[in-house]
Amino acid sequence: MSLMFNGIGVSRGIAIGDAYLLRRNQIDVTSRTLSKKSVPGEVRRFKRALKAARAQLLTAREHIPKDAPSDVSSFIETHILMIDDSVLSQRPIEIIKTELINAEAALQQQREELIKVFGSMDDSYLATRIDDVNHVIDSVLRALDDKAEQVVGAEHWKGQIIVADDLTPADTVTMQHHGVAGFVTETGGQLSHTAILARSLGIPAIVGVSSIRRYIKTGEIIALDGRLGMVLAEPTDDMLSAFRRQQKDTRQRQRELDKLIDTEAITQDGVQLTLSANIEIEEDLKALKRVNADGVGLYRTEFLYMNRDTVPTEQEHFKVYTKVLRALKGSPLTIRTADLGADKQVDGHEASRSRPQAHNPAMGLRGIRLCLSDTSLFIPQLRAILRASARGPIRVLLPMLTNVAEVAQCLRLIEQVKQSLRDENIDFDDGMQVGGMIEVPAAAIAAEQFVQHLDFLSIGTNDLIQYTLAIDRIDDQVNYLYDPLHPAVLALIRTIIDAGLKGGIPVAMCGEMAGDERYVRLLLGLGLTDFSMPPNLILETKRNLIGSRRSTLKKQVNALMAAQTTEERQALLDKINASAPEH
């Protein structure tokens, strides 16, 4: 009998193959009391486990395909850095020695401390890094247990679909090396590194399929659709035929998308579009170049502050930014200043460590609020950005703005930094543009005021939607309320776009909506022409937009905005997405 399961599709593609259930033994974290004389042996045992876990990561790194996107190796490097960091390599040893407990219990105790820190993070991307902490700690715990099953080279996995509770980035790379057809996990989300890796490596994948391993056996045939998040177990012949047709269509679709790389981004009624890329690390530039993006619309800089004992210096910032500029070869670079927060303790920064934890981090001292509160974090970055502006086209983007007083403070500070550079005879672009992230409803409503003081605006839909609807999109209990089509959300987006048009400054969007095929035509109808997204979504977005007429979409969007129910809005959105001819 055929069974259908639904989850979160995190990597598009159709996969058909035999299921392989990856079952790991339950990790034993029972606490045992040690005698003082047995402590040295326990410490040696812990160090051997660290070494073994590190060796597994190094092996996975060697298996990364040479033509894989460069961010693939960065995830493995992140786990290696975590293993080498004193938080995991030294702190458990201190616990073993002081509390006279076994390595497993000491490591589990340290895990619980880290979960408290990461679990309260308001930035959904950084909050998912707890997955990395858990993956690394679990790999060490398995290395402590000789009986635990490890994900090792398994040539019989070729062509099979892995079904597991969860997968680490190292698991994912290993599976790609052995040619798995796809994978399904019971846990995970869109923003986990495993999901991102699956997309980068082109592995069809679905996560969040609760309890699927209870119903599927190793060896039975399954099929999955990574776009719809659908898994079929023991499909009928007719179902298999339909999936194989979809497989063929998907390959053809990608070949057609590749033909658009050098196609001008312009709608059928002559509206010029800008399709830029969101990047976080310089290695993302390879993917950006492949799709011929219009520069970088959002460069996240928080990575510079993480996993280190000191805050980054001005020179470190400068070197990174100039390296990215060289790679862009004249294309514009929009740098978002550090969007750190009270919950994200800046590693190596004494003031951050001593600051009390926010009761509600999402509404606490974060983004531009923190930068203005502690200019010792802000000024080195501003100096580096301005110095780099002499090497190529740079714009600076201020995150988490709430009122124009913050803008005025920032502009005064930027002018002070400019004057100090003049005094030191250091070159910079005196006309460097300064923009603001509009992601707080208050800022959206007051967008016309911001337009009077800034050179451009960029809409951060991830936070804008969460703040508007008072929900956390990574909280499984309420994320069903995360609705980009909510009339309040659409009204705020239109308000921002209209304010930019009225004030004569450009408005971009760098939130997830900008690269979501369900919403890009809707956004074009609202007046948006500047989209920034992960590089791998640019060609799909270009295809959706160049086949559209903004004049037609505007009328359809007006009808959608007037709709009274969710069902009506969804039906009108479907009509919008069906209105443009396919290419």
Question: Hey, CA dihedral for 465, 468, 473, 479, is it positive or negative?
Answer: negative
Residue 431, both tokens: 């006309």
Place of tokens 């005021």: 449
Q: Report whether 436 contacts 398 (CB < 8 A).
A: yes
* Side chain identity, residue 60: A
Residue 505, both tokens: 């400054």
Catalytic entry in 79, 371, 410, 510:
510
In sequence order, the 6+-apart residues with CB closer than 8 A to the CB of 321 are 333, 335, 384, 385, 388, 394
> Which letter does DSSP use for residue 546 in this model?
H
Nearest to 519 by CA among 188, 528, 122, 378: 528
* DSSP E strands, 212-330: 221-225, 230-233, 274-279, 296-299
Question: Hey, CA dihedral for 312, 314, 315, 319, is it positive or negative?
Answer: positive
* Side chain identity, residue 542: K
Active-site residue flag, 371: no
Catalytic entry in 79, 193, 317, 371:
193
Place of tokens 């069903």: 480
Residue 374, both tokens: 């502690």
Strands 14-22 and 205-207 come out as unpaired
d(CA 298, CA 404): 22
Residue 61, both tokens: 């790194």
Active-site residue flag, 193: yes
Radius of gyration of the chain (CA): 25
Exposure on the CB side of residue 25, measured as CA atoms within 13 A: 13
CA dihedral 165, 170, 176, 182 (to 10 degrees): 20
The set of catalytic residues is 193, 510
